[in-house]
Structure formats: structure tokens, C-alpha cells
Amino acid sequence: MNLHSDTSAGPFWVDEEYDREYASDGVSRYGAYVRDRLASSFAECWETWGEPSSRRVEFASAAWRTATGPVMAPGYVRSSSRVLGARVERNQWDGSLIAAVSLVAPWPAALARSFDWQGGRRWRDWPTELRGDGYEFVEPTEQDVAGAPFMQASLALTFAVPVDRLPEAPEGPDDGVEDCARQAVEGLVVELNRAVGPVVDVLAGGRSR
């Protein structure tokens, strides 16, 4: 059974087509959101941090937050239904860039290979729903839970993100912020796919219960 209707090359991708088609300014939804945050999220990059590497990290974090939910819904960055969440932020310990990604996962082997612990309750795994050409993971509805208990396992990935391929942070609000933000997001998508993609590929080889 195909558990993914997504046709992207990795678990994350930028939806340029939707961004243009539904832009309030006729150009880019993401660009409009970036402009709305020039005096807040993005301003911290050039007003708070003086060191270039710190500004780059803060700018990449702000670009990602703006491109994803809950700021943008749907996001400029899209993800596989197996991705429950993805944050990119500054590591307060050393100032590096880190990502935290949570994924839908199968049950641990100790639980999956035996039903004795269920006590006749018949626990169910993540539900799936047919969308497009395949099935996607969804949260159980209240009706679902009324009929059976669910145990939804997840996997947490936390890792450092290389910044050498990310753009330098702009010097101010008039320094091509929109283009730099898009470049930062595209670079982050590449790096997250590089780290998370192989994990998703292995998980996708399993069967949903």
C-alpha cells in the first residue's frame, strides 16, 4: 500500500506554484509574509546580532518560521504526512543552527510482536486516509476514538544543520530580504531532506496497522 500521495523527491519541498497562484500581491504569498515581519522577526537579525554567523543563523530560523505553520497555512514549505512537525532554531549553547523534526513511526518492536499487553482492547496504529494517488497519515477523529483506542508512536530527530550553503543575512530591511529568505528556505529544505529523507525511506518500508 502506498502511504504517501506526495510526489516530491523528499519529505520537505517548496510549493512555488501555490505560492504564486494564491499570492495577494500577484507575486508571492511568502514574500508578503516576509514583508509583514520585517519590523519583528527579521529585524532581530540585524538589530540584535552583530556577528555575521549569528545573524545568518537567526535569519535562517526566521525564514523557516515564516514559511511554515502556524504562520503560513498552508505553508510555503510543504511536508510529507509522516512529518508531524519541523522546527529550525538557534542552539543556545553554541549559536549553531539545529533542527527538531518529529515523524510518524511504527510501534516499537516489543509492542508490535505481541498482543498480550493489549488486554483485549485492540489498540490501533495511526489511521490513514486516501488522498490523491495514495494514503496519508491523519489524526484519529473523535468518532474513531469512540470505536477503538489508538496508540500513535512518533520519532524525534534533533540535529545540527550546516549553514555553509545558506545565504548571509541581509544588512537591513532594504537589502533584498525576500530573495534571501527564499534562498535560506530552499537551502534548509535541502539539508533537512538530506538528514530526514533516509529515515523516512526506511519507515516507509513498513506496513501500517
pLDDT tens figures, 88-101: 999 999 999 999 99
Banded model confidence at residue 7, pLDDT cuts 50, 70, 90: very low
Residues 123-161, buried b or exposed e (16+ Cβ, 10 A)? bbbbbbeeeeeebbbeebeeeeeeeeeeebeeeeeeeeb
Q: How far apart are CA 9 and CA 13, in angstroms?
A: 8
Q: Tens of pLDDT along 48-83?
A: 777 888 999 999 999 999 999 999 999 999 999 999
The DSSP result for 111-163, as a single string, is HHT--GGGTT---B---EEEETTEEEE-PPPHHHHHHS-B---EEEEEEE---
Q: Is the pTM of this model over 0.85?
A: yes
Residue 4 has pLDDT above 80, yes or no: no
